[in-house]
A and B are shown apart, each in its own frame.
Chain A
Amino acid sequence: MLLEAIDIAKSYAGVRALKGVSFDLRAGEVHALVGENGAGKSTLIKVMTGAERPDAGTLRVGGREVPHMDPATSHALGIAAIYQQPALFPHLTVAENVALALEGGGFWRRVDWRRRRENAAALLARVGSAIDPMRTVDTLSMPEQQVVEIAKAIGANARIVVMDEPTASLTTREVEGLFQVIGRLREADVGVIYISHRLEEIFAVADRITVLRDGLTVETRPAAGVERAELIRMMVGREISSVFPKETIEIGAPVLEVQGVTSLASGVRDVSLTVRRGEILGIAGLVGSGRTELARTLFGLTPADAGTIRVNGTAVRISSPADAIRAGIAYVPEDRRQHGVVLDMSIAANTSLASLGAVSERGLIDRGRERAAAQEYVDRLRIKTPSVLADAGTLSGGNQQKVALARWLSTRPAVIILDEPTQGVDVGSKAEIHGLMQMLAARGLAIVMISSELPEILGMSDRIAVMHRGTIRGVLDRADATQPAILALALAQSPAH
Chain B
Amino acid sequence: MRGLGRREASVAGAIVALGVVLAVVSPGFFARDNLTDLFLANVPVLIMGLGMTLVILTSHIDISVGSLFALCAVASGVLAKAGVPMPLVGAGACVIGVLAGIVNGSLVAFLRIPSIVVTLAMMIALREGLRWATEGAWIQDLPASYQWLGMPAAVYPLVVLASVLVLQAGFGWALGNLSVGRAVYATGSSHSAARLAGLPVEMMTVGVFAVSGALVAIAAVLNSVRFNQIPSNTGLGLELKVIAAVVVGGTAISGGRGSAFGTLLGVILLSAIGPALTFLGVSAYWERAIHGLIILAAVAIDAVRPELHARVARA
**Closest chain A CB from B126 CB (angstroms):** 33
Which of B25-33, B195-203, B293-301 participates in binding chain A? B195-203
Residue of B nearest to A299 (CB): B196
A356 to B192, CA, bound (A): 17
Contact B315 A17 (CB under 8 A): yes
A354 to B194 CA separation, bound complex (whole angstroms)? 9
Q: Collect the chain B residues with CB atoms within 8 Å of residue A325's CB.
A: 198
- Tell yes or no: A360 within 8 A of B by CB: yes
Asked whether, in the complex, the Cβ of A342 is within 8 Å of the Cβ of B178, the reply is no
Over the window 5-29 of chain A, the binary record of Cβ atoms lying under 8 Å from chain B Cβ atoms (1 yes, 0 no) is 0000001111101000000000000
* Chain B window 175-193, contacts with chain A (Cβ cutoff 8 Å), 1 for yes, 0 for no: 0011110110110011011
Chain A hits for B186, CB < 8 A: 342, 345, 349, 353
In the assembled complex, which residues on chain B have CB atoms less than 8 Å from the CB atom of A301? Answer: 195-196
Q: Interface digits, B301-315 against A, CB 8 Å rule (1 contact, 0 not)?
A: 000000000011111
Decide if B312 touches A344 in the complex (CB within 8 Å).
no
* Residue A324, interface by CB 8 Å: yes
Complex-state Cα separation, A353 to B195, whole angstroms? 11
Q: Does A431 contact B (CB under 8 A)?
A: no
A341 to B194, CA, bound (A): 9
Q: B198: which of A12, A322, A333, A365 is its contact (CB, 8 Å)?
A: A322
Given A325-B198, A365-B177 in contact, is the A13-B185 Cβ separation under 8 Å?
A: no
B315 to chain A, nearest CB (A): 3
Contact A346 B192 (CB under 8 A): no
Given contact pairs A338-B192, A339-B192, A349 touches B182 in the complex (Cβ within 8 A): yes
Number of interface residues of B (CB under 8 A): 28
A370 nearest in chain B by CB position: B182
Which residue of B is nearest A13, CB measured?
B315
- Whole-angstrom CA separation of A13 from B2 in the bound complex: 27
A342 touches B312 (CB 8 A): no
Q: Are A11 and B315 in contact (CB under 8 A)?
A: yes
Shortest beta-carbon distance from B186 to chain A in Å: 6
CA distance A15 to B177 in the complex (A): 38
B257 at the interface (CB under 8 A from A): yes
B256 at the interface (CB under 8 A from A): yes
Q: Would A344 and B189 count as touching, CB distance under 8 A?
A: yes
Tell me how far the C-beta of A234 lies from the nearest C-beta in chain B, rounded to whole angstroms.
24
Judged by a CB distance under 8 angstroms, whether A320 is at the interface is yes
Residue pair B196, A13 in contact (C-beta under 8 Å): no
Q: Contacting B200 at CB < 8 Å: which of A322, A356, A364?
A: A322
In this complex, which of B180, B190, B197, B312 has the most chain A Cβ atoms within 10 angstroms of its Cβ? B197
Q: Decide if A354 touches B198 in the complex (CB within 8 Å).
A: yes
Q: Could you say which residues of chain A place their CB within 8 Å of the CB of B190? A: 338-339, 342-343
Query: Which A residues touch B192, using CB under 8 A?
Result: 338-339
Query: In chain A, what residue has the closest Cβ to B201?
Result: A321
CB distance from B242 to the nearest CB of A (A): 23
Q: Which residues of B contact A11 (CB under 8 A)?
A: 315
Whether B193 and A342, one on each chain, are in contact in the complex, defined by CB atoms closer than 8 angstroms, is: yes
**Chain B residue contacts of A364, Cβ below 8 A:** 177-179
Contact call B312/A13, Cβ cutoff below 8 A = yes
Q: Which of A13, A342, A349 contacts B311 (CB 8 A)?
A: A13
Q: Does A194 contact B (CB under 8 A)?
A: no
What chain A residues lie within 8 Å of B195 (beta carbons)? 301, 321
Cβ contact within 8 Å between A353 and B315: no
A469 to B53, CA, bound (A): 45
Which B residues from 2 to 21 make CB contacts under 8 A with A?
2
Q: Do the beta carbons of B198 and A321 come within 8 Å of each other?
A: yes
What is the bound-complex CA distance between A349 and B185, given in angstroms?
A: 10
Q: Which residues of A contact B180 (CB under 8 A)?
A: 363
Chain A nearest CB, measured from B208 CB (Å)? 16
Distance from B312 Cβ to chain A, minimum over Cβ atoms (Å): 5
- Within the complex, the shortest CB–CB distance from A227 to chain B, in Å, comes to 34
| Pair A360/B198 contact, Cβ less than 8 Å | no
B197 near A363 with CB under 8 A, answer no
Could you tell me if B2 and A389 are in contact, using CB atoms closer than 8 angstroms?
yes
CA distance in complex: A346, B182 (Å): 11
A403 to chain B, nearest CB (A): 11
Contact A342 B198 (CB under 8 A): no
A377 to chain B: which residues have CB within 8 Å? none
Residues of A within 8 A of B193 (CB): 338-342, 353
- Chain A residues contacting B189 (CB-CB under 8 Å) are 342-345
Partner of B315, one of A12, A338, A354: A12
Chain B residues, Cβ within 8 Å of A389 = 2
Does residue A407 face the partner (Cβ distance < 8 Å to B)?
Answer: yes
CB interface residues, A 388-418, toward B, < 8 Å:
389, 394, 407
- Distance in angstroms from A424 CB to nearest chain B CB is 17
Chain A residues 343 to 371 lying within 8 A of chain B, measured CB to CB, are 343-346, 349, 352-354, 356-357, 360, 363-365, 367
Question: Which of A320, A338, A345, A407 interacts with B185 by CB under 8 Å?
Answer: A345
> B313 — which chain A residues lie within 8 A by C-beta?
394
From B192, B193, B195, name the one whose CB has the most chain A CB atoms within 10 angstroms: B193
Q: Compute how far the CA of A345 lies from the CA of B190 in the bound complex, rounded to whole angstroms.
A: 11
Which B227-265 residues have C-beta < 8 A from chain A? 256-257
Q: Which residues of A contact B200 (CB under 8 A)?
A: 320, 322
Shortest CB distance B304–A (Å): 16
- Residue ID in chain A nearest B255 by CB atoms: A344
Q: Is the CB of B185 within 8 A of A344?
A: yes
* A301–B201 alpha-carbon span in the complex (Å): 12
Q: Which residue of B lies closest to A391 (CB)?
A: B2
Contact of B196 among A15, A17, A333, A344 (CB under 8 A): A333
In the assembled complex, the CB of B195 is this many whole angstroms from the nearest CB of chain A, namely: 6
User: A357 vs B2: C-alpha distance in the bound complex, in angstroms?
Assistant: 21
CB-defined contacts of A339 to chain B, threshold 8 Å = 190, 192-193, 196
Supposing A342-B189, A365-B182 touch, asked if A324 and B197 sit within 8 A by C-beta, the answer is: no
| Min C-beta distance of A420 to chain B, whole Å | 14
Residue ID in chain B nearest A321 by CB atoms: B198
Interfacial chain A residues near B311, Cβ < 8 Å: 12-13
Smallest CB separation, A441 vs chain B (Å): 23
Q: Known contacts A14-B315, A322-B198, A365-B179: does B2 contact A342 (CB below 8 Å)?
A: no
Distance (Å) between the CB of A401 and the closest chain B CB? 14
B109 to chain A minimum Cβ distance, whole angstroms, is 14
Q: Nearest-CB distance from A314 to chain B (Å)? A: 19
Rounded to whole angstroms, the CA-CA distance of A325 and B197 in the bound complex is: 8
Chain B residues near A346 (CB-CB < 8 A)? 2
Whole-angstrom CA separation of A322 from B311 in the bound complex: 39
CB-nearest residue of chain B to A326: B198
Given known A-B contacts A12-B314, A14-B315, A344-B189, A363 and B256 have beta carbons under 8 A apart: no
Tell me, in angstroms, the Cα distance from A365 to B184 when the chains sit together.
Answer: 14
Is there an interface contact between A360 and B179, defined as CB atoms closer than 8 Å? yes
Of all chain A residues, which has the CB nearest B256? A344
| Distance of A339 Cα from B195 Cα, bound (Å) | 9
CB distance from A388 to the nearest CB of B (A): 12
- Nearest-neighbor residue (CB-CB) of A16 within chain B: B315
Pick 8 A–B contacts, CB within 8 A, sort by A: A301-B196, A338-B193, A340-B193, A341-B193, A345-B189, A353-B194, A360-B178, A365-B182
* 10 tightest A-B CB contacts, nearest first: A12-B315, A15-B315, A322-B198, A354-B197, A356-B179, A321-B198, A342-B189, A339-B192, A353-B197, A13-B315
